[in-house]
Chain A
Amino acid sequence: MQTTIVGALPKLPVVYEDPDNLRRAVNDFEAGRIGAPDLEAVTRQTQARALAWQTDRGIGLLGDGQIRWSDLVSPVAYDVAGLEVGGLIRFFQNNTYYRHPIVTGRVWLVGRTLPGWFAQARALAAGPIKAALPGPYTLAALSEDRQYHDLERLVADLADVLGLLARLHLEAGAACVEFEEPSLAREADPGRRALGLAALARAAARAQGPVRAALYFGDPTGWLADLAAIGLEGVSFDLVGAPVLGQALAAGGFPGRVGLGVLDARDLRIEDPVAVRAVVEAVARRIEPERLLLHPNTSLEYLPADGAVRKLDRLHEIHTSLEGVTR
């Protein structure tokens, strides 16, 4: 059993006044008080700190924390022709926003910015590290389509593009690529869901390496079999938003490496380790512990830095207490 994170980590230090404060560095850069090399130095320090938070707490599968990403979806436009960046929209139920991509032409991969960012994180990582990308269905759902006017074609093309991007991340040293799919996790329409699942499979095939999906903010309990059938390396689930998923996994199992999102990444309150342990042990009776990953249910960037670190501390504590648990 290992631990991991999902997506982004806070960019600021726990002590705001610390010198490696990326927010202050960006403000200073924009005001002309520091130059690009100074900003880059603070960005790299921020990346190193995000990795250290994890390695210090025994995280087995590291994440890059998306330190250079402004949100989950708009940075993809840096590397993809046919995507432009539009206005701010609320990101699901959060007081957090993203710049929505606007599809203005046929999408195809033209850049290497995101793999380059990841390679910098990989160079600083002390262990296996995964890359996080938006999944094709979520990217399509959060975009404004002015070109295709056909969701199936748009999702398929985005799957191709994201699959190629995933391959570049794998070539840059990613242990795996995790597609974040909150829109798919919440999708109630079976036809659209089938599109999203097919797109994940298509992207995974293009990636030619281990690809996972993180399904948060939704409850895929009713279609776990469909999800299992697409043959990903593994899937991470949100057991905070959908506690019933724990029972479903405990009853029916799931193939691959199964992620259990057991800590609430949007709530400062720290979980009772006994309750979390009970959930994990129930699943571990059905799924071999070596196939389990423990993690927060979504990105820890919804918390301030001190809150995120406390969650990682609790994750480490729970993980340690589960050593020796067998099926």
Chain B
Amino acid sequence: MSRPLPLLPTTSVGSLPKPDALRALRARGRRADPAELDSAIREATRASIAMQEAVGLDLLVHGEMERGDMVAYFAEHWDGFESSGFVRSYGNRYYRKPVARRPLRADGPVTVDMWRFAQSLTDRPVKGMLTGPYTIMDWSFNEAYPDRRAFALALADLVHEEALALEKAGARFIQIDEPALSTRPEEIELAIEAMERVTRGLTAKTISHMCYGDWAAVYPRFLDLPVDQLDIEAANNDYAILDLLKKGPVRPEIALGVVDVHSHRVETADEVEAAILRALEILPAERLYIDPDCGLKTRTEAEARAKLEAVVQGTARVRSRLAGP
């Protein structure tokens, strides 16, 4: 049984930087020795858990060392998906966009093993990490289903099975990321419908991470996403999201991003403290978690650690303030 969380729990969003040795192995693609790759993934996961414990985070992530991309990982493991050729995401960065060629099917859970391994390394809770059906649908080509709704709901059933398996394995926190949620405001109802399928019947705390979107376009409906906690990028946009959240009631807990994962600059504990105090003007401390804006995989290991240290130190100061003299 992992220990309880303090006030203003600190956490991370999902991915952490991969060590150079693992990057080099992954770059070999199919030429990499599977046993060697698995060993490197577990070693990197062990290091990521140790780093988070040393920094002092309360709710950990396993770091997604086994994943190249949050959508492609699931597509690589579910029958019916194939990879397309390379599609450019920006500049000289490309990814193989998944294609649903046939109705999708899972042969078993694909995230439980790594979650179980990571949780075995610590007495702090580790989040089970999934990608939401709407985002997988939106970031894939569809040749198998008649329309986007049918595609998204089929994915929701698969993600639901994965969440059930994580819960059965002991995960108390399950995060289902939906960064694409705000990109088509006209489809917010579909995203909510799909998430209802995912979280139906779960007893674990459910979280959904969202980032880099036009939240005003889906306000206030995005607050109705059927999860217990919304994890929102905020620092990158100078906390404009708080202006929205103060407009009306906020049902779910909020995990607030207080460091920008797309900047090399490491925020200070002062900045984090100020951001949390700003959030506390509209959100109760009992319903607020503190973390980076998004996954830290694009930062160096040193930058990622320093940003997480700023999160922990800034949060500690606010806890002290709240505890009083």
Measuring CB to CB, which residues of chain A are less than 8 angstroms from any residue of chain B?
Answer: 10-12, 14, 16, 22-23, 26-27, 70-71, 87-90, 92-99, 267-269, 301-307
Contact = CB atoms under 8 A, between A and B. Distances in A.
Interface of B: 84-92, 94-95, 97, 99, 138-139, 141-143, 180, 183-184, 212-213, 236, 262-263
Contact of A26 (B90, B92, B95): B92
A304 B244 CA distance: 38
9 contacts: A22-B92, A23-B92, A93-B180, A93-B183, A95-B139, A96-B87, A96-B88, A303-B84, A306-B85
B183 A96 contact: no
Nearest to B184: A93
Contacts of B88: 10-11, 96, 301
B142 A267 contact: yes
A302 B87 contact: yes
**Which of B86, B95, B139, B142 gathers most chain A CB within 10 Å?**
B86
A193 B53 CA distance: 53
B143 to A, nearest CB: 6
Contacts of A11: 88
By Cβ-Cβ distance, the 8 closest A-B pairs, closest first, are A304-B85, A97-B90, A93-B183, A268-B141, A26-B92, A70-B91, A95-B139, A304-B84
A307 B99 CA distance: 12
A56 to B, nearest CB: 19
Nearest to B139: A95
Contact of B85 (A27, A88, A305): A305
A307 B212 contact: no
Nearest to B71: A95
A95 to B, nearest CB: 5
A20 to B, nearest CB: 14
A12 B94 CA distance: 10
A31 to B, nearest CB: 12
A267 B91 CA distance: 21
B143 A269 contact: yes
A93 B214 CA distance: 10
Given A14-B85, A96-B87, 5 more contacts: A16-B85, A70-B90, A70-B91, A71-B90, A269-B143
Nearest to A98: B90
A12 B86 contact: yes
Contacts of B138: 93, 95
A95 B96 CA distance: 12
**Which of B84, B142, B184 gathers most chain A CB within 10 Å?**
B84
A143 to B, nearest CB: 15
B90 A96 contact: yes
B178 to A, nearest CB: 13
A99 to B, nearest CB: 8
Nearest to A301: B88
Contacts of B97: 95, 304
Contacts of A16: 85-86
Given A93-B184, A268-B99, A269-B143, A12 B85 contact: yes
Contacts of B87: 10, 96, 301-304
Nearest to B213: A90
B198 to A, nearest CB: 20
A51 B39 CA distance: 47
Contacts of B90: 70-71, 88, 96-99
B94 A307 contact: no
Contacts of A305: 85-86
B84 A268 contact: yes
Nearest to A27: B92
A192 to B, nearest CB: 15
A7 to B, nearest CB: 13
**Which of A14, A70, A90, A94 gathers most chain B CB within 10 Å?**
A90
A10 B97 CA distance: 14
A23 B88 CA distance: 10
Contact of B141 (A27, A87, A267): A267
A27 B27 CA distance: 13
Contacts of A22: 92
A304 B86 contact: yes
Contact of B89 (A14, A26, A97): A97
A117 B183 CA distance: 32
A307 B87 CA distance: 10
Contacts of A90: 183, 212-213
Nearest to A87: B262
